[in-house]
A = this chain, B = another copy of it.
Amino acid sequence: MKLCVIGGGSTYSPELLSGLAEKKKEIPIKEVVLLDIDAERLNDVGEFAQRMMAHLAPEIKLSYTLDKEAALKDADFVVTQIRVGHQQARHDDTKFCVEHGVIGQETTGAAGFAKAMRTIPVLLDYAKDMKTLCPNAWLINFTNPSGIVTEALLRYGWEKTIGLCNGPVGMQMNVAHQVGVPVRDVQMDYVGLNHLGWVRKIIIRGEDRTKEILEKFSPYTATNIPDLDYDPTFYHALSTLPNGYLKYYYLQEEMLEELKNQKKTRAQVVMEVEEELLKYYRDPNQYEKPAALSKRGGAYYSHVALSLIAAIYNDKNEVHIVNTLNNGALKDLADDAAIEIPCVVNSSGAHPLAAGHVDLSFRGLMQHVKAYEQLTVEAAVTASYNRALLALVNHPLVNSEKKAKVLLDYFISRHNLQLK
């Protein structure tokens, strides 16, 4: 069993690898290859990872390489965690957006569009290679914006793709923690899109405790999201548990103010953390997972990814909340839309549970954002300027077609997007 990590030079790789070492009984991986295009960073991370794994799981063969072919050849699982343009692109995009009065955030905001546009062609290229190198591999997509990227892969590149996010598990863990029960006792009736989900019901050991939990506890918000509070009247009226990223929609104006007032962009914060991490990795005496990794973001990502791989490998029929094609599960969205939804995961993949119609209280926003996402996928796949413009015009956080054009033209020139 072989695992290939595309974007293996990420400072985050050691987190994934240490998780793998912990689960080595359940997931009997023999070989891991870190693949990247940044030789220097790959060397730093790869050398450290080898030291670390030599201690934790010497039976797993760990290598790193710039050679796509060697890395992908006969892989059983391929994990993608790339960042085209690095943190600098993220910084520039989000800053430009905020300067023009638009929430830029790199997944939910307008910068998510830019990230999708520069990422999708790269991943579709890898998918093309995989057709001959590892035709049976599962592709676990970590790369943001995860919903959009996953949809592009599922529809245009790799059928056996499953898109991941740590959000749903974060929410589940938060509820479990607050209520004081084990995580596996918390059933969440979660529906929606990546970074745009709502929990309709929380069942704990057969009992519907949604109302009580909404009243007593505050919702989980990832550390990278400015921590503004909802008005309790609204929160009560909504009567579902919202994904943390929904604050960018429900508090659009307030979040924009917040972002305008931030001294550093999130990209700048992460760049500093990464510098610290790389310095640590370069130290030949270090072989333990650094504490600073927790500041890097992506809590539970390693856990989420490896549980998923374990469920597939061991044909577990476990329920995971992942991104996959709708195929009728959510009646308010098209069949070919990627959605984030509870799925039975087993050796033949992720099978969504039927979720019917969703309440009017969030149906429209979900449909609107999905239209933006699907236009983005189309734009990226067909390299169409018009569809790209319509994508941004349809983004609920971009409130003017003229501004959409300003942003698009900037993204095109900044990232050298080839649209026609």
Contact A238 B390 (CB under 8 A): yes
CB nearest neighbor in B for A329:
B354
1/0 contact string of A214-251 vs chain B (CB within 8 Å): 00000000000000001101101111000000000011
Q: How many copies of the shown chain assemble into the complex?
A: 4
**A328 at the B interface (CB under 8 A):** yes
How far does the alpha carbon of A239 sit from the alpha carbon of B387 in the complex, in Å? 11
1/0 contact string of A377-417 vs chain B (CB within 8 Å): 01000000111011001101001111111000000000000
Contact A253 B315 (CB under 8 A): no
Contact B237 A389 (CB under 8 A): yes
**Which residue of B328, B347, B354 is within 8 Å of A351 (Cβ)?**
B354
**Which residue of B252, B327, B367, B399 is within 8 Å of A356 (Cβ)?**
B327
Query: In chain A between 353 and 391, which residues have their CB closer than 8 angstroms to a CB of chain B?
Result: 353-357, 360-365, 367-372, 374-375, 378, 385-387, 389-390
How far does the alpha carbon of A231 sit from the alpha carbon of B406 in the complex, in Å? 11
**Which residue of B231, B253, B319, B372 is within 8 Å of A399 (Cβ)?**
B253
How far does the alpha carbon of A401 sit from the alpha carbon of B362 in the complex, in Å? 13
**A180 at the B interface (CB under 8 A):** no
Q: Which residues of B contact A342 (CB under 8 A)?
A: 344
Contact A347 B390 (CB under 8 A): no
Interface segment, A12-20, A32-40, A203-211, A300-308? A203-211
Range class of the A interface residue count: 35 or more
Contact A356 B378 (CB under 8 A): no
Q: Given that A187-B346, A402-B254 are known contacts, is A396 also in contact with B396, CB under 8 Å in the complex?
A: yes
Contact A390 B237 (CB under 8 A): yes
**A185 at the B interface (CB under 8 A):** yes
1/0 contact string of A308-337 vs chain B (CB within 8 Å): 000010010111000000111101101100
Contact A315 B185 (CB under 8 A): yes
Q: Given that A236-B386, A404-B234 are known contacts, is A360 also in contact with B375, CB under 8 Å in the complex?
A: yes
Q: Which residues of B contact A360 (CB under 8 A)?
A: 371, 374-375, 378, 390, 394
CB nearest neighbor in B for A255:
B400
How far does the alpha carbon of A239 sit from the alpha carbon of B389 in the complex, in Å? 12
Q: Which residues of B contact A170 (CB under 8 A)?
A: none
Q: Which residues of B contact A346 (CB under 8 A)?
A: 187, 203, 206
Contact sample, A vs B, 23 pairs, CB 8 Å cutoff: A101-B253, A187-B315, A203-B346, A205-B347, A206-B315, A206-B346, A207-B347, A230-B401, A233-B389, A234-B401, A250-B401, A252-B400, A254-B400, A317-B317, A317-B318, A342-B344, A351-B353, A354-B354, A360-B371, A360-B375, A360-B378, A364-B372, A368-B368
What residues of chain A have their CB less than 8 Å away from a CB belonging to chain B? 101, 185, 187, 201, 203, 205-208, 230-231, 233-234, 236-239, 250-254, 312, 315, 317-319, 326-329, 331-332, 334-335, 342, 344, 346-348, 351-357, 360-365, 367-372, 374-375, 378, 385-387, 389-390, 393-394, 396, 399-405
Q: 19 extra interchain contacts, Cβ-Cβ under 8 A, other than A328-B331, A344-B344?
A: A187-B347, A187-B348, A203-B347, A206-B315, A207-B347, A234-B389, A250-B401, A251-B401, A319-B344, A327-B354, A328-B355, A329-B354, A353-B354, A360-B371, A360-B374, A360-B378, A363-B371, A364-B394, A368-B368
